[in-house]
């Protein structure tokens, strides 16, 4: 299943082994793992809670994968995104892409992550010593996304 939203952690080695199992055409695997930072915008992050809109989120992530497959010759693509309360250093997201060649795998992985950061319906709340706050998308995330409309 190329899209999974889950509370439990994931094992990177297991996920990659499953992704490439039986596919001798895989010449490259590009991987991104996002983790919870302990400091964000100058504040200590004690916990991050991720919420989503069930059904809508999975459809949005699948659309991102479909768009990547339309741009690059990919064998497989996987997005695992965690929800619920997470602690600093916990894994949040895994994006993994397989292809025959590294260039396509790298580009597709970055494309998926840029779209995920700006277009996926997730809401992040950080608990800090000064109280809870909702996290907005960064200008740098929007800038990263804009480059894909040029190619």
Do the Cβ atoms of 7 and 82 come closer than 8 Å? yes
| pLDDT tens for the 151 residues of the chain, in order | 799 999 999 999 999 999 989 899 999 999 999 999 999 888 899 999 999 999 999 999 999 999 999 999 999 999 999 999 999 999 999 999 999 999 999 999 999 999 998 889 999 999 999 999 998 776 666 676 778 885 5
pTM as predicted: 0.91
CATH of the domain at 88: 3.90.1170.40
User: How many separate domains does the chain show?
Assistant: 1
Do the Cβ atoms of 73 and 63 come closer than 8 Å? no
Do the Cβ atoms of 2 and 79 come closer than 8 Å? yes
User: Can you give the residue range of the structural domain that contains 40?
Assistant: 3-150
């Amino acid at each position: 299943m190329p899209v999974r939203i889950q509370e439990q952690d994931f094992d990177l080695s297991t996920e990659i082994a499953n992704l490439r199992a039986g596919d001798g055409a895989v010449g490259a695997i590009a991987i991104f793992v996002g983790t919870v930072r302990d400091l964000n915008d100058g504040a200590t992050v004690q916990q991050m809670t991720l919420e989503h809109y069930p059904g809508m989120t999975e459809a949005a992530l699948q659309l991102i994968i479909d768009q990547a497959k339309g741009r690059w010759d990919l064998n497989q693509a996987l997005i695992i995104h965690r929800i619920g309360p997470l602690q600093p250093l916990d894994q949040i997201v895994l994006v993994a892409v397989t292809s025959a060649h590294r260039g396509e795998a790298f580009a597709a992985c970055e494309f998926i992550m840029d779209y995920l950061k700006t277009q996926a319906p997730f809401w992040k709340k950080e608990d800090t010593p000064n109280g809870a706050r909702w996290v907005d998308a960064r200008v740098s995330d929007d800038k990263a996304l804009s480059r894909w409309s040029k190619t």
